[in-house]
Amino acid sequence: MKTLELAPKAKYLLMVEDTASVAALYKSFLTPLGIDVQIVGTGKKALETLTNRIPDLILLDLRLPDMTGMDVLHSVKALYPDVPIIFMTAHGSIDTAVDAMRYGAQDFLIKPCEADRLRVTVNNAIRRAGKIKDGESESAASVSSVNNYQGFIGSSQNMLSVYKTIDSAATSKASIFITGESGTGKEVCAEAIHAASHRREKPFIAINCAAIPKDLIESELFGHVKGAFTGAATERQGAAEMADGGTLFLDELCEMDLDLQTKLLRFIQTGTFQKVGSSKMKSVDVRFVCATNKDPWQEVLGGRFREDLYYRLYVIPLHLPPLRDRGEDVIEIAYSLLGYMTLEEQKSFTRFAQDVVDRFIAYEWPGNVRQLQNVIRNAVVLNHGKEITLNMLPPPINQVSTEIALGNKEQEFLSEERITRTLLSADEITPLWQVEKETIEQAIQACGGNIPKAANALEVSPSTIYRKKQSWT
């Protein structure tokens, strides 16, 4: 008798939304995920539905015609505490939604919700709930998502510390100094701080100190009056004035010219500034969030950053960990990116092959999340199918690990099994250091002399190659 293979059961989502047109729209947004979506319009109907089938996720409107979303939340959690709930709320009810998370809601979405945001949030919530069902610890699988909705994805211990710092510091006016490698999400972090603060209804203004020419950055920061310099045909507001009442984010601050650092220090101390070409003082109320991919104290010691400005701004330090230190966060982020890019490029990818997942976790990611974005975009654009496989990834991610043993692998070359397999006599064995030297030099040459790129290809750190090269001289 032939055994039938049953297809995996579709995930079931209960949407509690009383506006039929909105519910139909959101259901259409979720169609690409292959989820079974049931829509009900009242809280009473939602609770009745639970007696027939337990959903994998509930999308719950905060305002319903017969009861509040909070009432539904309490009733569901009393009966089925493991069912994840995501609130849908208008902008004016964000505080209520945040309160709901203290009583067991997993996340919330602000209406109107874009298709990509809805799909990413739903997909992550279902995957996280699945991990808990499979026996993973709840602390590892579920995260207080009050900041996740701002763009962060991940539940590693390192990121939990980041979320906690944001929660604690967001409501203060104290300056926050974000550090971290390029591509770790420093601007996303700054936006999350702003969104969690009392200033969230006011502007968030970002200025990249490294991207603006030295002779224009003062005008970008403070603005200018008409005729202040050649080309100043009209008066212009600067970032400081536009951020009044809100948050001013100074990215790559350590790249700012020392002369302008002096003016910035006075602005921070007094809250006043002058537009370029003006003698009139302006006063504003802004909260400062700064960021750099360098060590700010080393910049002070090197004479490139003012020490008094450092002490003024380095009040609450917040370090963003590199992607290689975030464990399985890379997979959560990768799946979110895959869903977004698949829809944007009108492809049909839904998953990663297991060897891709293993490679993503093991890879060092020198370019962090930005590099991961590029890798997935490359694979999605240039290929077709349901599954991303290892051969679809661009180099060096797709390259099989080299058998050249560096560092901890050196003993492998001395194993009796390898010598027997290659059928070499003792006189024919090439010394290990010479094999390493030839392989490393070939990799450097193949990468056009770029040592970090060669290190990625060999799957070692650049410092290993530098150390080896020094030992050969």
Q: 3-class secondary structure for the chain?
A: CCCCCCCCCCCEEEEECCCHHHHHHHHHHHHHHCCEEEEECCHHHHHHHHCCCCCCEEEEECECCCCEHHHHHHHHHHHCCCCCEEEEECHHHHHHHHHHHHCCCCEEEECCCCHHHHHHHHHHHHHHHHHHHCCCCHHHHCCCCCCHHHCCCCCCHHHHHHHHHHHHHCCCCCCEEEECCCCCCHHHHHHHHHHCCCCCCCCEEEEECCCCCCCCHHHHHHEECCCCCCCCCCCEECHHHHCCCCEEEEECHHHCCHHHHHHHHHHHHHCEEECECCCCEEECCCEEEEEECCCHHHHHHCCCCCHHHHHHHCCEEEECCCHHHCCCHHHHHHHHHHHHHHHHCCCCCCEECHHHHHHHHHCCCCCHHHHHHHHHHHHHHHCCCCEECHHHCCCCCCCCCCCCCCHHHHHHHHCHHHHHHHCCCHHHCCCHHHHHHHHHHHHHHHCCCCHHHHHHHHCCCHHHHHHHHHHHC
Please report the pLDDT score of residue 295 as a whole number.
92
State yes or no: pLDDT of 365 exceeds 90.
yes
CA gap 133, 89 in Å, rounded: 28
CA gap 85, 107 in Å, rounded: 7
Range with the largest mean pLDDT of 40-49, 144-153, 443-452 = 40-49
When pLDDT is averaged across residues 226-236 and rounded to a whole number, the result is: 76
Range with lowest mean pLDDT among 137-151, 228-242, 246-260, 262-276: 137-151
Could you tell me the pLDDT band of residue 423, with boundaries at 50, 70 and 90? low
The pLDDT tens digits for 248-290 are 999 999 999 898 999 999 999 999 988 888 888 889 999 999 9
CA gap 465, 471 in Å, rounded: 10
Range with lowest mean pLDDT among 120-134, 172-186, 331-345, 406-420: 406-420
The pLDDT tens digits for 186-212 are 988 998 888 888 888 888 999 998 888
More confident: 124 or 365: 365
Please report the pLDDT score of residue 340 as a whole number.
77
- Of 142, 139, 185, 194, nearest to 166 by C-alpha is 194
State yes or no: pLDDT of 460 exceeds 80.
no
**Per-residue tokens: 115:** 């298709």
% of residues, the chain, pLDDT over 90: 29
**Per-residue tokens: 309:** 């400005």
CA gap 71, 94 in Å, rounded: 17
End-to-end CA separation in angstroms for the chain: 71
CB 205 within 8 Å of CB 239: yes
When pLDDT is averaged across residues 126-138 and rounded to a whole number, the result is: 59
More confident: 364 or 97: 364
CA gap 370, 381 in Å, rounded: 16
Give me the residues paired with residue 40 across strands: 16
* Mean pLDDT estimate for the chain: 81
CA gap 92, 80 in Å, rounded: 29
State yes or no: pLDDT of 35 exceeds 60.
yes
**Per-residue tokens: 10:** 């579709």
Please report the pLDDT score of residue 297 as a whole number.
93
The pLDDT tens digits for 74-114 are 899 888 888 899 988 775 565 666 667 767 787 777 777 77
State yes or no: pLDDT of 146 exceeds 80.
no
The pLDDT tens digits for 279-322 are 888 899 999 999 999 999 999 999 999 999 999 999 999 999 99
More confident: 417 or 46: 46
Please report the pLDDT score of residue 420 as a whole number.
44
**Per-residue tokens: 388:** 């991303």
CA gap 111, 103 in Å, rounded: 21
Query: CA-CA distances (angstroms) from residue 293 to 154, 213, 280, 290, 412?
Result: 21, 19, 35, 11, 38
What does pTM read for this prediction? 0.57
More confident: 435 or 309: 309
| Angle, helices 432-446/451-458, rounded to nearest 10 degrees | 120
% of residues, the chain, pLDDT over 70: 83
